[in-house]
Homo-oligomer: A and B are copies of this chain.
Amino acid sequence: MSNPLVRKLECYTRLSEADRLCLIDAVGPGRMVAARTDIIHEGDDPRTVNVILDGWACRYRQFINGRRQIVSFLLPGDPCDPHIFLLDDMDHTIGAITPVLLGQISGPALQAMTARSPQLELAFHREALATAAVQREWTISLGSRTGIERLAHLFCELHARLAAIGLTEGNTCPMPITQNDLGDAMGQTSVHINRTLQELRGMGLITLRSRRLTIHDPAALARLGHFDSAYLHITEQVGRAVAQHA
């Protein structure tokens, strides 16, 4: 199985074999981070770009009153903080949800790669733009979709993103997050998430069990969540399992 970073970038443009090898070499074998711990600490070398090679993580903000808002999920292949070193300091935290295998690309190595390959530069650039689009879509979800629509949309998004890097099996994909996490992401309590999940199950749209999600009716779920995969900007079809949302 190829490197998830390679698969992720190949969602945005075709890469040469040299590009692929260069990426795999630069990102290294990675190091393990335990579940439920923070990946990015203030004080870490800011000239390094972290990449999720395996497992799930999330960006979040922790409030003093105990409330936590997750603003995005990071899946295998996702860069954690591209170019964040250009800013003064982090305004949020990145935490591992599952055990995470974390690759690192040094700033100079990244610059050398993108300087040598316009395709790689384009891929990284498009990845950043697509990430921004995902963030806008979350704003839209939280602003104008009901609880059940939000969940439906999130499941469609996560399945599509996982499909793009070949981590789905048909309509089934990993979903290693608790109802508490879902609540923190959707701006709701876990109690209400629980009831909404039951509603989704009752409609026969999904099965969510043992950290795995199955979407029984992708078209109906997408319709319910007003999901249109265009915003993900996945233009190249990589991997054999690609989302089939109508």
Interface residues of A (CB under 8 A from B): 59, 61, 63, 67, 69, 71-72, 83-84, 86-89, 91-92, 122, 125-126, 128-133, 135-140, 142-144, 185-187, 226, 230-231, 233, 235
A228 nearest CB neighbor, chain B only: B91
A62 CB to nearest chain B CB (Å): 11
The 8 Å CB contact of A88, one of B128, B144, B185, B235, is B235
A92 nearest CB neighbor, chain B only: B136
Is B142 a contact of A187 with CB atoms below 8 Å?
yes
Give Cα distance in the complex from A63 to B137, angstroms: 13
A134 CB to nearest chain B CB (Å): 10
The A interface, classified by DSSP as helix, strand, loop or mixed, is: helix
Give Cα distance in the complex from A230 to B187, angstroms: 23
Known contacts A83-B129, A226-B63; A140/B89 CB under 8 A: no
Question: Which residues of the other chain, B, contact A125 by a CB distance below 8 angstroms?
Answer: 83, 86
Known contacts A129-B83, A135-B135; A91/B144 CB under 8 A: no
Give Cα distance in the complex from A125 to B85, angstroms: 11
Give Cα distance in the complex from A126 to B88, angstroms: 10
Known contacts A86-B129, A132-B135; A140/B61 CB under 8 A: yes
